[in-house]
């Protein structure tokens, strides 16, 4: 996708990372299906919906995929864990290229769950008596 049609929405190199991750398209015995829509176009459409925050029903026709095939492939890829694998692959790439050192990592305490009914919770009735 580098230097291609979808560079305006898909960052450079992202398609190269994402290309091997989705499961192979299944050919339906009765014909039809999603074979006619290019994987690059559907990936760009998915990225567009996720980045812009628009509804999949508002997907522009420039992608060549209607809302149903784009949503179907998104659902298939979500169930197959492609999003998590893509996230991990994007994180691993700078580490493998020596661009990022993760030997020292800091945990932010804002992500630690607070227990209910701690010391500050008043479990007794207020008022006189």
Return the top range by mean pLDDT from 22-36, 50-64, 114-128.
50-64
- Mean pLDDT (the chain, rounded): 75
> pLDDT band at residue 129, thresholds of 50, 70 and 90?
low
What is the reported pLDDT for 59? 85
pTM: 0.61
| Half-sphere exposure for 110 (CA within 13 Å, toward CB) | 0
pLDDT in tens, 33-55: 555 677 888 888 888 888 888 88
Q: What is the mean pLDDT of the segment spanning 23-33?
A: 68
Measure the CA–CA gap between 52 and 8, rounded to whole angstroms: 13
For 18, 25, 43, 50, the CA distances from 60, given in Å and listed in that order, are 22, 23, 14, 13
In angstroms, the Cα distances linking 49 to 9, 24, 59, 103 are: 10, 22, 7, 35
């Amino acid at each position: 996708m580098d230097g291609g049609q979808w560079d305006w929405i898909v960052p450079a190199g992202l398609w190269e990372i994402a290309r091997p991750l989705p499961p192979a398209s299944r050919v339906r015995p009765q014909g039809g299906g999603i074979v006619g829509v290019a994987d690059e176009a559907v990936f760009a459409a998915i990225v567009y919906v996720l980045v812009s925050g628009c509804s999949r029903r508002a997907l522009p026709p420039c992608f060549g995929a209607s809302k149903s095939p784009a949503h179907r492939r998104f659902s298939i890829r979500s169930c197959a864990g492609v999003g998590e694998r893509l996230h991990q692959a994007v994180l691993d790439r700078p580490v493998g290229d020596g661009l990022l050192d993760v030997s020292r990592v800091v945990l932010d305490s804002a992500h630690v769950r607070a227990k209910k009914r701690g010391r500050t919770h008043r479990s007794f009735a207020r008022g006189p008596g």
